Structure 1
Amino acid sequence: MEKMTEKGTTVDMVVSMLTERINKGDYSPGSKLPSERKLQEELGVGRLALREALSRLNALGIIETSHGKGTFVQNRLQSSTIKNILIPHFALSDSKRLQELVDARAMIESEIAGLAAQQRTKADIRRLEMILEQEVDSSTPSELVAYLDLQFHQELALIVDNHFLVLMHEALTAHIRTFLNGFVKSRNNPVEVLEAHRPILEAVKRGDAEDARSLVRLHISYSRRDYENFIEKTKE
């Protein structure tokens, strides 16, 4: 699989994937993480990127490294960690709250797309294209596909010259990240998940703000229907 080459992007991906595993209970509070070599093999990343990702999680109070013993998931999470890690579980268990998140996402992301279409540069467009050019297939981990999906929307937000709008988008992304991973896994079609963003990219590329807004609203409305179907399946 072709990998994005920017170190920062790789580190962000590792942070996201490890966070997802903690969210799902793969690594429970107090449990020891696999060795660095094992994590490198599982995630397909280099030692430096992995260590930087672990350092970030350590700084957030999510994990703790004890020299000579290993790295462990924290038993007591800090308040900032609760906001970023546990709230998505509440959304997952409450369909009404999840629908509210989707509605909020549609309002904020449609405006972001419109502004991005007006403010984008050639470099911005290239970064968006790189995300959709990633080679994925049925064997690609759902965590990675979900990461690329959210990364596309995050890159759109970064184009916009509005600090508060970007912060609002980041907050929504933190809440929906865990759910999106499960949703992507249920689709069994990673290529379709990424290609659904192609029309949005084309509208932004040609500078059509209104079309970009409309396409994002349409994209998220389809997602909402799929989310509802996914929630019903998880209740069965």
Structure 2
Amino acid sequence: MAGIGPGDIEPVRRLKVADSVAAQLEQLITRGDIKPGEKLPPERVLAERFGVGRSSMREAIRVVEANGMLRTDHGRGVFVVSDKKAMPKLSDLLVFDDFTVPELFEVRLSLEPDAASLAARRITASEASNLQRILAEAENPQLSDDAFVKLDAELHRAIVAATKNTLLLRLMESVEPLFFKYSHRVIKLPGRRAHAHAGHVALCQAIIGHRVRDARTAALSHIRDVERDIAEHLEQTVERR
């Protein structure tokens, strides 16, 4: 790209398989499935049970150990030393009762860029006005996080409705309860609300302007942005320990 040097672009951090495995392992410990004092199965066995490679399993163990919940005794194995750690826990951000955030991101990446591009082709003037209304309400700094999350969901639903594709809308509605669960947790990350609103503005401007390519790109960037915020927060949490 002309005019942009190698040092001008920061690589986007993505949530890794190890993050999700670490979060699930942490959850097993906090709910008592694996108790303090117990020894974990060998790395090979754990990797098979989680369905991941041994390198991802090894990295996940290191993350949970950095959180003070595991201890590695060389020659003996890995032991649980605590069922508690300082908040926020990895499982608070990545694991829910019925899904993981990486799984939710996979679904969003499959649906939202296509929905945004279709909406950019088909949106009506009244639908565009509705998006602008939602953005204006979400911009209010006095708005509670709960109200912001509701507007966030309303915005994404309105974008999918603008595609005029009823099956896409049904898929969106089926995912919406999971979206609410996840959004109420990640909205508390530093800067997340401002980043989310900026992403919404860029996305809606492209859709309202009928810029099909830009709409797809903005939807993708919006999802990658929250993924990066979570990954950076997890990195900082580990570094502080």
Secondary structure at the residue paired with 2:164? coil
Tell me the equivalent position of 1:211: 214
| Pair 1:146–1:233, CA change in 2 (3 A) | farther
Contact kept? 2:195, 2:225, Cα under 8 Å: no
Q: Which residue of 2 aligns with 1:152?
A: 155
What does the per-residue CA deviation read over 1:209-229, in whole Å, with 9 as the maximum and x for residues that have no partner? 121011101110111122344
- Structure 1 unaligned regions, length at least 5: 1-88
Secondary structure at 1:207 match in 2: coil
> Distance in 1 between the 2:96 and 2:232 partners?
14
CA distance in structure 1 between the aligned counterparts of 2:106 and 2:192, rounded to whole angstroms:
24
Residue 139 to residue 92, structure 1, CA distance change in 2 (3 Å): farther
Partner of 1:195: 198
The number of aligned residues is 148
1:116 and 1:160 in contact (8 A); partners too: yes
Aligned-pair identity (%): 21
1:183/1:230 contact within 8 Å kept: no
Higher relative helix content: 1
Counterpart-to-counterpart distance in 2, 1:189 and 1:103: 20
1:116 is aligned to 2:80: no
For 1:98, the equivalent position in structure 2 comes to: 101
In the alignment, structure 1 residue 181 sits paired with structure 2 residue 206? no
Distance verdict in 2 for CA 1:180–1:229, change over 3 Å? farther
Q: 1-side partners of 2:172 and 2:234: how far apart? A: 23
The answer to whether residue 223 in structure 2 is matched with residue 220 in structure 1 is: yes
TM-score by length of structure 2 reads 0.53
Per the alignment, residue 161 of structure 1 pairs with 164
Pick the structure with greater CA Rg: 2
Letter in 1 for 2:183: L
Please list every run of 5 or more consecutive structure 2 residues that lacks an aligned counterpart in the other structure. Answer: 1-91
- Worse-superposed segment, 214-223 or 172-181: 172-181
TM-score (normalised: structure 1): 0.54
Q: Does residue 1:134 correspond to 2:137, yes or no?
A: yes
Aligned to 1:107: 110
Rate the CA distance shift 1:234–1:144 in 2: closer, same or farther, 3 A.
Answer: farther
- Equivalent AA in structure 2 for residue 186 of structure 1: L
| Alignment deviations for residues 98-147 of structure 1 (CA, whole Å, 9 cap, x no partner) | 11211210220111100000100110100000011016555432111111
SS of alignment partner, residue 187 of structure 1: coil
* Distance in 1 (alpha carbons) for counterparts of 2:236 and 2:176: 23
Mapped to 1, the partners of 2:225 and 2:200 lie a distance apart of 12
